[in-house]
Amino acid sequence: MRRSRTAWVTVVLAGAALGTATVAADAAPGTDARSTVRDTAHTTACPTGWGSLAKTRAAGTTAPVKDVRTARHACFDRMVVDVPGASADRIGYVVRYVDRVHQDGSGRPIAVDGGAVLEVRIAAPGYRPETGAATYPGRADRPLPDVDLTGYRAFRDTRFAGSFEGETQIGLGVRTRLPFRVLALDGRLVVDVAHSWSGTR
């Protein structure tokens, strides 16, 4: 009897460990931005400590931007810039809060709605370097194509600023100045903006 009870406890503990692993996978940086993470009884507290200071990385790629997409998650809103063919170590970026986005080259101001504005610069062109043909259909000073922010808690607006000298520039309007993180992964740049400073949803 003692042996079977011990075996039962081992099974229960293993099941609990598997449950924890599943939650960690749901929150992994590689989660597809088109999916929405659902709250479950096992959901852990939201991550904290991201801060709101500029995040930068010096690198660059000639692989062009193909798409920009967003998704709502339990603890944050996510923007993903797809750069197929670019390895994580070649994706450079500058993501920072600014008073106003100014278009590279022309210096023209780009109006972005929201209580605060994140400027997202990725060191990848929105065109084919060899021909100049556009690879991303965004138009300067217009919302990002096929991005609908209805129901988002942090995001308020998106604006394409353009692509100039190998860099693509986007304005991201958020509710207020909130903590964010930036992840460079194979084939994409991820920008997550937390719903709050406190780590609560």
Say how far apart CA 162 and CA 21 lie, in whole Å. Answer: 40
34 pLDDT higher than 70 = no
pLDDT digits (tens, 9 = 90+) for 84-136: 999 999 999 999 999 999 998 889 999 999 999 999 999 999 999 999 999 99
Give the up-direction half-sphere exposure of residue 154: CA atoms within 13 A in the CB hemisphere. 25
Output the pLDDT for position 176. Answer: 98
pLDDT (average), residues 52-79: 97
Say how far apart CA 11 and CA 154 lie, in whole Å. Answer: 41
For 132-180, give the DSSP string. Answer: --BSS---TTBPPTT---TT-SSEEEEEEEEEETTEEEEEEEESSS--E
What range does the domain containing 87 cover? 31-194
Mean pLDDT of all residues in the chain?
83
Has residue 199 been placed in a domain? no
Q: What is the pTM of this model?
A: 0.78
Has residue 4 been placed in a domain? no
pLDDT digits (tens, 9 = 90+) for 132-177: 999 999 999 999 999 999 999 999 999 999 999 999 999 999 999 9
Has residue 170 been placed in a domain? yes
pLDDT band at 60 (very low <50, low <70, confident <90, very high): very high
Single-letter amino acid code for the residue at 88: A
Better pLDDT: 4 or 23: 4
Residues 84, 65 contacting (CB under 8 angstroms): no
Has residue 15 been placed in a domain? no
User: What's the structural domain count of the chain?
Assistant: 1
Say how far apart CA 108 and CA 178 lie, in whole Å. Answer: 26
